[in-house]
Structure 1
Amino acid sequence: MYTDILNIPSKLPVRQEGTGISSGTFGEMLQGVLTNGKPFLVTLPINRFSKAIFKPSLSKESIEVIPEFKVKAKCLCEMILRDNNLPLGGTLEIVSTIPVGKGLASSSADLVAVSRAIELAYDLTLDINKLEQYLASIEPTDGVMYSSIVSYYHREAKLKDYIGNVPALTIISHDEGGEINTIDFNRRYYNYEIDVKQEYELLLKKLITAINNNDYKGIGEITTRSAILHQNVSPKRTLNQMIDINNEINGLGVVVAHSGTYIGILISQHDEEYYKKLGMAKQLISKLSDDVHVMHTINQGEKSYGKQFN
């Protein structure tokens, strides 16, 4: 049998195809460098998704990826198949609602979705630490493989801490334009003074407390401070205007894609004036940009997860 030639167990469960989905993240709630010298971030999962459809094939000797430019997804697919002694043939299709080069974890979501698709196709369970090793060899990675909010060492692709459930937030945002390459961005070196590192350490502690206490206003204060601190690294030209808009509508704060081009305002979905604030924010931000977007946070276990693909 063909499987014998490849040293593949002939009774290996193989489905016709496997489908995996991963959410993106609206930049980061907080991103900087800790006193241990390690760059870190805190995730903010949103309702933008990447879906990978993997169709194994014993008649092919390579992976065909659709669209062709998804080379990182193809690379991960080959790594997983090779390391698990699986046939190196098949078709991998990526469908995504996450814009590329904008700091919303489009590549990370693609890669996590690929791993999940292969797991389903071959009835595998990949060790998450091994998955992170794969990802680290490809590029710095957001922690989108975890369902909760996490603090994450993105350059190492290692979990720092589980933090808690994702708060019910809406982000009214706009794209300042252009694209930022994640790999190039993370190759840059920034010399953070010790007092700045200490502030990031304190902000992380405060953010963990705010999330676990459902202190939405506290969350917004920290995301705003993170955006301000990051102006020395990758400035957002409309940050001051967005802070003014947030203050005008009495929003929670601003949040940015630290290694991207998006900037948004946070409002609570439990706010009694939610729709009023949503409308005001959209109207005021539209004066800054024609490219206004409304996104919502999401827990990856929610029933609505991936609904856009149904």
Structure 2
Amino acid sequence: MAEARCPASCGELIQGWIAGGEKLISCPIDWYSEVEVREGDAAGDERQLSRRMLNQVIKHFGYRANDLPPLRIECRSTIPIAKGLASSTADIAATAVATARLLRQSLDEATLARLCLQIEPTDSTIFRALTLFDHRHGECCISCHWQPSLDILILESAQTLTTADFHRRVGLSHLQRQAHQLDKSWRQFQLASRSQSLRRLGEAAMLSACASNQYLPKPAFDGLRRVVEQQDLYGINVAHSGTVVGLLFDHRQHDPQQLLARLDTAGILLHYPHQHVTHLVAGGVS
């Protein structure tokens, strides 16, 4: 038996057309998909993509299907699906590492990324550092050497949107029209990293969120911006191909329950019936 876990992501800190292509920086949070791989028959509720990943890892290490006994995948996750929380990446990445461990092997981040991309677009939560990543082709991977400490109030809409549906609705032309704003966001993120400034990090996320809102509007977005300004929060980040919104704050300066009360008074929580207080964490599969 072997286990592994991978964090969810509260959308992305930034995502869009950056330096000539679509890229993102995920926002890993302390909410995990935990996967166990062991001998046994497949579970009735097994996730199809996890099985595909298990088979890929077996093949990657040179095994044939009949070299091994039947393997069972147990996934323990409460991460909502199709909301922009990187639930699928968390599942398949944790499955990959747990399978490798069962085979007494290991996967470095580059190999894990390649295996994940063979299945679907992949969030950069698979990297320990905050990483600008070409999540569709893997041709760009730029790590940040700063691990900020940041609290995030996630606002979860009742609406769902899969990544595939997003790409059917929003073409590259929509993203390319926002390239100038995303280049500004990426420059601000780099400046935030160099200066280790949460304020600048929030500004980078806000620039990207505002660009995203032009082609995938979030309910009550203007009201959320007013609350951020009135409460002097760091900013907003969003799921650029999903439905969740994150408010970036520091619990030492802001009481999340008071923030929720303010949002409720403003009528914003009518659009976001579920809320979660989380913390930005290092990514990577552990």
Q: TM-score, normalised by structure 1?
A: 0.82
Match of 1:97 among 70, 78, 86: 78
How far off is 1:293 after superposition? Answer: 1.7
Q: Which is worse superposed, 163-172 or 189-198?
A: 189-198
CA distance in 2, matches of 1:175, 1:52: 24
Q: What is the identity, as a one-letter code, of the residue corresponding to 1:30?
A: I
Alpha-carbon distance between aligned partners in 1 of 2:176 and 2:153, rounded to the nearest angstrom: 34
For residue 43 of structure 1, give the secondary structure of its aligned residue in structure 2. Answer: strand
CA distance, structure 2, for counterparts of residue 298 and residue 239 of structure 1: 25
- Deviation readout 1:54-73 (Å, 9 max, x if unpaired): 0035xx6xxx14633x1111
- Asked if the contact 2:7/2:283 (under 8 Å) is kept, the reply is yes
Paired residue for 1:72, among 49, 73, 77? 49
Equivalent residue, structure 1, for 2:61 = 84
Instruction: Identify if the C-alpha distance between structure 1 residues 24 and 193 changes in structure 2 by more than 3 Å, giving closer, same or farther.
Output: closer
The partner residue of 2:254 within 266, 271, 274 is 274
Q: CA deviation at 1:32?
A: 0.6
Question: Equivalent residues in 2 for 1:240-255 (5 A)?
Answer: 240-255=222-237
- Which string of whole-angstrom CA distances, capped at 9 and with x for unpartnered residues, describes residues 242-263 of structure 1? 1111112111111111111111
Task: Count how many residue pairs are aligned between Structure 1 and Structure 2.
Answer: 276
1:1-310 matches, within 5 Å, as 17-36=1-20, 38-56=21-39, 64-65=42-43, 67-68=45-46, 70-86=47-63, 87=68, 89-187=70-168, 188-192=170-174, 196-269=178-251, 271=252, 273-275=253-255, 278-286=256-264, 287-289=267-269, 290-300=273-283
In the superposition, relative to structure 1, how do residues 209 and 65 fare at CA in structure 2: closer, same or farther (>3 Å)? farther
1:261–1:74 distance in 2 versus 1, CA, 3 Å: same
- Tell me if structure 1 keeps the 8 A contact 2:188–2:203: no
Matches of 1:208 and 1:65 in 2, distance apart? 44
Contact kept in structure 1, 2:129 and 2:147, CA below 8 Å: yes
Aligned partner letter, 2:73: L
CA shift for structure 1 position 33: 0.5
Decide whether the 8 Å contact of 1:98 with 1:104 is kept in 2. yes
Q: Secondary structure at the match of 1:93?
A: strand
Structure 1 residues 125, 268: CA separation in 2 closer, same or farther (over 3 Å shift)?
Answer: same
Query: Equivalents in 1 of 2:219, 2:206: separation in Å?
Result: 15
Q: Single out whichever of 83-92 and 214-223 deviates more from structure 2.
A: 83-92
**Structure showing the higher helix proportion among its residues:** 2
Greater Rg by CA: 1
Unaligned runs of 5+ in 2: none
C-alpha contact (below 8 Å) 1:139/1:182 kept by paired residues: no
Instruction: Find the aligned partners of 2:177 and 2:241 in 1 and give their Cα distance.
Output: 22
For the 8 Å contact 1:190–1:233, the answer to whether it is kept is no
CA RMSD of superposed structures (Å): 2.2
Report the Cα distance in structure 1 between the residues aligned to 2:239 and 2:175, rounded to whole angstroms: 22
Shift of residue 194 of structure 1?
A: 6.3
Closer, same or farther in 2 for the Cα pair 1:197/1:139, shift >3 Å? same
Q: Kindly tell me: are residues 234 and 66 of structure 1, through their superposed partners in 2, closer, same or farther at Cα, counting changes over 3 Å?
A: farther
Contact 1:55 1:91 in 2 (8 A): yes
